Amino acid sequence: MSDRAGPVAAAFREWTGRDPEGVWAAPGRVNLIGEHTDYNDGFVLPAAIDRLVLVAAGRRDGGRLRLWSRQAGPPADLELAAVGPGRVEGWAAYPAGVAWALGQAGVELGGADLVVDGDVPAGSGLSSSAALECATATALADLHGAGLDRPALAALARRAENEVVGVPSGAMDQMVSMLGRAGHALFLDTRSLATEQVPLPLEAAGLCLVVLDTRAGHRLVDGAYADRRAACEAAAATLGVAALRDATLAQVEQHRTALGEPGLRRARHVVTENARVLEAVALLRAGELDRLGPLLAASHASLRDDYEVSSPELDTAVAAAVEAGAVGARMTGAGFGGSAIALVPAELASQVGDRAREAFAAAGFGPPEITPVVPSDGARRLA
């Protein structure tokens, strides 16, 4: 049994009095570039990381789903037939939602015991929720010989989050948690769901990827997120396109009066951000990883000035990383808090952390959490 699988398997034995039938894992992710593009049918470029949610699982009779997490509240004991949209509270809604989505896809589950363990920090923007869903989906599908491919499991996991948890997230997080590959980023077209593994050889380039979690809650995020989505829909309608994915910068400029303020700037962010994803993919295909910096900087500026979803903490984190020698840095995730990422020469990684901590203290913010991450494989069976 792999080292990582040991503790969760032991917890499963302690809780159920039997061995698990297996241990499965799925990673969190960072998004290199392509922010607020997913609900505009656009492009994203995430990478799976070396932070995992693990699920030890065993089948059981009697139609019950028993769930326990070493990181979350008390265990849940649910009747599978009673699981559905709006019917499960708290963290259990993620794994129970996956069981429900599998049932909707025609997979007869019978019942299961699941024990969860992991080191993807929850609510930091590394998508612990998708990691939990994808680990659960892989475990239950394997145990029941469901024969679903990875994109199908990602779609089920997303359905769990959208319909049972009730979070209207896009396709990115589950797709990259299922399909990620070590040393690669995943270029995803959120309209067609076409994917391409793009080389991200950080080590060979002497670079590392650092997450700077501001620890600032996502204040305002729900309302602002809905507001931005609505602004994008309105802008697409004004431009006469199905989604902003289909608009060009020239069209946006041409319709500036009709788009108005802030519609013009919202649309401009989405259109230019999509173009930046394509440029980043072209650079990575050409092996020019060290030239990503200006694209990351432009993405951050666009999110701050045109889309207005940054925050003083995120701006401070990005500025500190760049001052300390990062090749590039930007906020990542929905914004208003959460995390920034920085692409950093390996020998400067600790300086980036030190500089960010100093800058946060000087600004009167609580300390940021600094985590180096490594592009890693997607969901898999560990034991």
Applying CB under 6 A, which part among 67-75, 81-89, 199-207, 233-241 lies near ligand ADP?
67-75
Residue 127 contacts ligand ADP per CB under 6 A: yes
In terms of CB distance, is 25 or 208 closer to Mg ion?
25
CA distances from 241 to 191, 232, 238, 373 (A): 14, 11, 8, 38
CA 235, CA 233: separation in Å to the nearest integer? 5
Applying CB under 6 A, which part among 105-113, 118-126, 192-200, 247-255 lies near ligand ADP?
118-126
Q: Which two three-digit tokens encode residue 196?
A: 């391409």
Residue 58 contacts ligand ADP per CB under 6 A: no
CA 176, CA 81: separation in Å to the nearest integer? 30
If contact means CB under 5 to 8 A according to the sort of partner, which of ligand ADP, Mg ion, none does residue 72 touch? Answer: ligand ADP
Residue 125 contacts ligand ADP per CB under 6 A: yes
In the complex, minimum distance from the CB of residue 148 to ligand ADP, in angstroms, rounded to a whole number = 22
Least Cα distance to 54 among 115, 124, 113, 130 occurs for 115
In the complex, minimum distance from the CB of residue 261 to ligand ADP, in angstroms, rounded to a whole number = 31
Out of 94, 100, 187, 360, the only residue in the binding site for ligand ADP (CB under 6 A) is 94
In terms of CB distance, is 128 or 302 closer to ligand ADP?
128
In the complex, minimum distance from the CB of residue 139 to Mg ion, in angstroms, rounded to a whole number = 19
In terms of CB distance, is 129 or 302 closer to Mg ion?
129
Out of 31, 37, 40, 129, the only residue in the binding site for ligand ADP (CB under 6 A) is 129
Applying CB under 6 A, which part among 74-82, 115-123, 230-238, 363-371 lies near ligand ADP?
115-123
Residue 217 contacts ligand ADP per CB under 6 A: no
213 catalytic, yes or no?
Answer: no
Contact status, residue 100 vs residue 164, Cβ threshold 8 Å: yes
Backbone torsions φ then ψ of 8, nearest 5 degrees: -75, -30
In terms of CB distance, is 129 or 299 closer to Mg ion?
129
Task: Write down the catalytic residue from 41, 113, 117, 173.
Answer: 173
Residue 118 contacts ligand ADP per CB under 6 A: yes
CA angle 26, 165, 132 (to 5 degrees): 10
Backbone torsions φ then ψ of 145, nearest 5 degrees: 50, 40
* Ramachandran assignment for 248, one of left (phi > 0), alpha (psi -120 to 50 degrees), beta (any other): beta
Strand 112-118 to strand 64-69: parallel, antiparallel, or no bridges (unpaired)?
A: parallel
CA 28, CA 46: separation in Å to the nearest integer? 10
Residue 314 contacts ligand ADP per CB under 6 A: no
Count of alpha carbons within 13 angstroms of residue 52, beta-carbon side: 23
If contact means CB under 5 to 8 A according to the sort of partner, which of ligand ADP, Mg ion, none does residue 91 touch? Answer: ligand ADP
How many whole angstroms from its chain centre is CA 291? 24
Site string for ligand ADP, 132-151 (x = CB under 6 A): x-------------------
CA 267, CA 298: separation in Å to the nearest integer? 15
By CB under 6 A, name the binding residues for ligand ADP. Answer: 53, 69, 71-72, 91, 94, 116, 118, 122-129, 132
Q: Enumerate the active-site residues.
A: 173
